Amino acid sequence: MYTEKVMDHFQNPRNMGEVENPDGVGEVGNPQCGDVMRITIKVDEEQDRIDDVKFKTLGCGAAIATSSMVTELAKGKTLDEAQEISRKVVAEALGGLPPQKMHCSNLASDGLQKAIEDYRARHAKKETV
Amino acid sequence: MKNAIFLDNAATTRADPEVIDAMEPWLSEKFGSPATLYSMGSQAKQAIDAARQSFADLIGADQKDIFFTSGATESNNWAIKGVADALESKGRHIITDVAEHHSILMPLRYLEKKGWEVTYLPTDSDGVVNPEAVAAAIRDDTVLVSIVHANHEIGTIQPITAIGKITSEKGVIFHVNAAQTVGHIPVDVNHLGVDLLSSSAHKFYGPKGVGAMYIRHGVRITPLLHGGTQEKKRRAGTHNVPGIVGMGKASEIARHSLEAEATRLAGLRNHIFDWVEGNIDDIRINGHRTERLPGNVNFSIEGIEGESIMLSLSYPTAGDARPVYVSTGSACVSGSLEPSHILLALGLPAELAHGSVRITMAKADTQEDVDYALETIAAVAERLRSMSPVYKRGNKKCSAGNSSQGCDCEAAS
């Protein structure tokens, strides 16, 4: 039911773990639903670019594969570019997801967006200090 | 692929080679319909009668009370809809429990839509239905009690004999879905005190697409399938002769091997329980420890999700690794947003139900295969836990009683 790409990212996840002293953290999902994702990013302030991004995920095959894919897509992108990475973009990069997985297990891009928001909120605070 | 270890035998079993041999002629040279009068037909009729006797012997029944169907789903639908139709004038109330198979729950939902009342009894944290609760739930308008013999997911065996005493005293028809027990543990319709009993051949090394219903003489039940005069006009349709012959053969084999096999499997089952408890942290055994199907193991691994365990086991990355096939109660596999209703009925929090692993063993599974599977499961659990943002060793969520509020993925996102 999964594409080869999904299985590849599930079996050999990219960028699994946590960035040390992250500049932004995004956590989405709920253990009751069976999916929780935590995305951590390191941002190059000068370039406004994501230098490093890692994930930790509890969830099904699709949840892990989308997490892995989102980190691969986001790494090296500017924050503005990374904000374009939607659920649809992730699903397409994986060659598609089964319909019932589009909804629940495709939260990784939301996690990335939350991490970017978190970075921007922290950054704004820093600038006002 | 390297030879796989199949530990999903509650879903289906591999047909015994002797069963396949017995079926073959009835698909080829002896293809006649038993309803016809020429010799090919009467041969088929004799074969069906022999299979009927063989299955009746397996469950301690009179062969006149055995009716062949397409499987347990049909038998369960027939029991519920057929009794409801026949006894509607007596009352419109049925009793069952919350942890039943969908082939019981869905026909009951259908009747509820038509105005029937259904009482869903709770189970305790091991999945056991209390016979006294059955007695207390019976009303003047109750026409049927339907309780599974052993649960397909957690393996818990219900106190059927005790419930059968109550239903017979109160004059209520008692149906038992025995899909998981026939051919695996001793089943005797008189000892159990049941009026109707469903069974399916592919669960005990027979072919798919054939099953049976035991109907105690005198029980009123309307046919589900109307048509020809087959099965004494109670179940129409040309007989599935190869399937029925296969079921007869599987019954004969089971009658001779069941006890020794049950003892062997119970030993393996207990070995698995001891092993997982000793080697994997933060797990919970689901279902009753001893009142349980010999080949069934079910446990939840905290901090990970069942589909990812199942996928990791069935698609190993190392080239020389053997795939291991198990099942899970995770929502990701059920196709809905909810994890298994059976695990939730035990009082498990949803996150533990998502992380459940079901191992169901059969004849082909050896101690060596089981040990290989266990080592693999432990390694997969360790790997997935290292990826989990929520798992903390020793966090002790592995206790029942903290039932979830259900899952709304939209709200969670």
Residue among B105, B115, B179, B167 at smallest CA distance from B142: B167
The tens digit of pLDDT for each residue in B99-126 reads: 999 999 999 999 999 999 999 999 999 9
**pTM assigned to the model:** 0.93
Count how many pairs of residues, chain A against chain B, have C-beta atoms within 8 Å. Answer: 97
CB contact under 8 A, A32 and B315: no
pLDDT value of position B410: 37
Residue B157 has pLDDT above 70, yes or no: yes
pLDDT value of position B407: 44
pLDDT value of position B38: 86
Which of the two residues, B412 and B165, has the higher pLDDT score? B165
Q: Give yes or no for A128 touching B (CB within 8 A).
A: no
Q: Is residue A128 part of a domain?
A: no
Nearest to B332 among A7, A37, A60 (CB): A60
Which of these ranges, A117-126, B140-149, B299-308, has the smallest mean pLDDT? A117-126
CB contact under 8 A, A11 and B339: no
Domain that holds residue A96: 4-123
Q: Is residue A112 part of a domain?
A: yes
CA distance A128 to chain B (A): 30
Residues constituting chain A = 129
Q: What is the mean pLDDT of residues B261-290?
A: 97
CA distance B285 to chain A (A): 19
Q: How far is CA B198 from the centre of its chain?
A: 10
Nearest to A107 among B317, B354, B413 (CB): B413
Instruction: Write phi, then psi, for B175 (nearest 5 degrees).
Output: -105, 140
Residues in A touching B350 (Cβ below 8 Å): 31-34
Nearest to A37 among B311, B389, B404 (CB): B389
The tens digit of pLDDT for each residue in B333-373 reads: 666 668 899 999 999 999 999 999 999 999 999 999 999 99
Q: Which of B304, B309, B343, B354 to mutate to test the interface with A (most CBs of A within 10 A)?
A: B354
Would you state the torsion angle of the CA atoms of residues B170, B175, B178, B183, taken in this order, to the nearest 10 degrees? 80
CA dist., res. B355 & res. B306, Å (int): 5
CB contact under 8 A, A32 and B331: no
Q: What is the mean pLDDT of residues B386-397?
A: 80
pLDDT band at B35 (very low <50, low <70, confident <90, very high): confident
CB contact under 8 A, A32 and B390: no
Q: Which residues of B touch A (CB under 8 A)?
A: 303-308, 311-312, 315, 317, 330-332, 335, 337, 339, 349-351, 354, 384, 387-391, 404-410, 412-413
Residues in B touching A31 (Cβ below 8 Å): 350-351, 354, 390
Contacts of B139 (CB under 8 A, 6+ apart): B91, B93
The tens digit of pLDDT for each residue in B231-253 reads: 999 999 999 999 999 999 999 99
Q: Is residue A129 part of a domain?
A: no
Tell me what the pLDDT averaged over chain B comes to. Answer: 93
Residues in A touching B388 (Cβ below 8 Å): 36, 56-58
When divided into structural domains, chain A yields a total of 1
ipTM of the complex: 0.93
pLDDT value of position B331: 76
Would you state the torsion angle of the CA atoms of residues B403, B351, A113, A13, taken in this order, to the nearest 10 degrees? 180
pLDDT value of position B400: 40
Q: Is residue A118 part of a domain?
A: yes
CA distance A120 to chain B (A): 20
In the beta sheet, which residues pair with residue A40? A25, A54
| CB within 8 Å of chain B, chain A residues 83-102 | 100-101
Residue among A79, A77, A80, A59 at smallest CA distance from A16: A59
CB contact under 8 A, B311 and A61: yes
Q: Is residue A34 part of a domain?
A: yes
Q: Which amino acid is at B135?
A: A
CB contact under 8 A, B305 and A34: yes
Nearest to B409 among A10, A13, A103 (CB): A103
The tens digit of pLDDT for each residue in B159-215 reads: 999 999 999 999 999 999 999 999 999 999 999 999 999 999 999 999 999 999 999
Residue B262 has pLDDT above 60, yes or no: yes
The tens digit of pLDDT for each residue in B277-300 reads: 999 999 999 999 999 999 999 999
pLDDT band at B408 (very low <50, low <70, confident <90, very high): very low
CB contact under 8 A, A61 and B339: no
pLDDT value of position B49: 97
Nearest to A16 among B330, B349, B387 (CB): B387
CB contact under 8 A, B407 and A60: no
Residue with tokens 């995004």: A26
CA dist., res. B162 & res. B170, Å (int): 13
Residue B413 has pLDDT above 60, yes or no: no
pLDDT value of position B403: 38
Percent of chain B with pLDDT over 70: 93
CA distance B292 to chain A (A): 28
Residue B375 has pLDDT above 90, yes or no: yes
- Per-residue pLDDT of chain A (129 residues), as tens digits, is 899 999 999 999 999 999 999 999 999 998 888 899 999 999 999 999 999 999 999 999 999 999 999 999 999 999 999 999 999 999 999 999 988 888 767 889 999 999 999 999 998 877 765
Q: Give yes or no for A25 touching B (CB within 8 A).
A: no
Nearest to A58 among B305, B350, B409 (CB): B305
Residue B411 has pLDDT above 50, yes or no: no
SS3 state of residue B35: coil
Q: Is residue A71 part of a domain?
A: yes
Residue among B197, B202, B164 at smallest CA distance from B183: B202
- CATH number at A83 reads 3.90.1010.10
Percent of chain B with pLDDT over 90: 87
Q: In the β-sheet with B211-215, what is the strand arrangement from edge to edge? A: B66-69, B211-215, B196-200, B173-177, B142-148, B93-97, B117-121
CA distance A47 to chain B (A): 29
CA dist., res. B69 & res. B367, Å (int): 35
Q: Is residue A45 part of a domain?
A: yes
Concatenating the DSSP letter of every residue in B169-207 gives: HHT-EEEEE-TTTTTTS---HHHHT-SEEEEEGGGGTS-
Q: Is residue A32 part of a domain?
A: yes
Give how far Cα B197 sits from Cα of B101, B128, B192, B312, Å.
Answer: 14, 19, 10, 38
pLDDT band at B1 (very low <50, low <70, confident <90, very high): low
**Choosing from B332, B398, B407, B409, which is the catalytic residue?**
B332
Sign of the C-alpha dihedral computed for residues A92, A93, A99 and A100 taken in this order: negative
Q: Does A104 participate in catalysis according to the annotation? A: yes
